[in-house]
Amino acid sequence: MDSTQFLKQTMGFQKTVFENTFNAMAVSQDQTEKMINSYLDQLPWVTEESKKSMQTSVDLAKKARDDFKKAVEDGYDKFEELLEKK
């Protein structure tokens, strides 16, 4: 097996591990968000303004999460392009 093929297989494995780990983390974060929202809905002293502020924070975290995933995927794509040129 030549080194390029080995690198492609290694990258494929790493990409799969990243995707699976990322998806598990995203599911965990989404479930935590649902749980917190349910909890906040049951507390009478939590104002709508507070809930809105919390939702803004959650939305920013989701955007950062998606931006991170895109950056990693772009890195994998660029590395794969580099390997194709060899």
Q: For the chain, which residues make up each domain, given as ranges? A: 60-86
Contacts by 25-28, CB closer than 8 A, 24 or more apart: 25/65, 26/65
**DSSP H or E run through 19:** helix 3-42
Distance between CA atoms of 48 and 63, rounded to whole angstroms?
Answer: 22
Structure tokens at 34: 């649902």
pLDDT tens column, 5-56? 898 899 999 999 999 999 999 999 999 999 999 988 898 898 999 999 999 9
* 0.75 surpassed by pTM: yes
> Which residues touch 50 (CB under 8 Å, ≥6 apart)?
40
User: Which residue's entry shows tokens 């965990």?
Assistant: 28
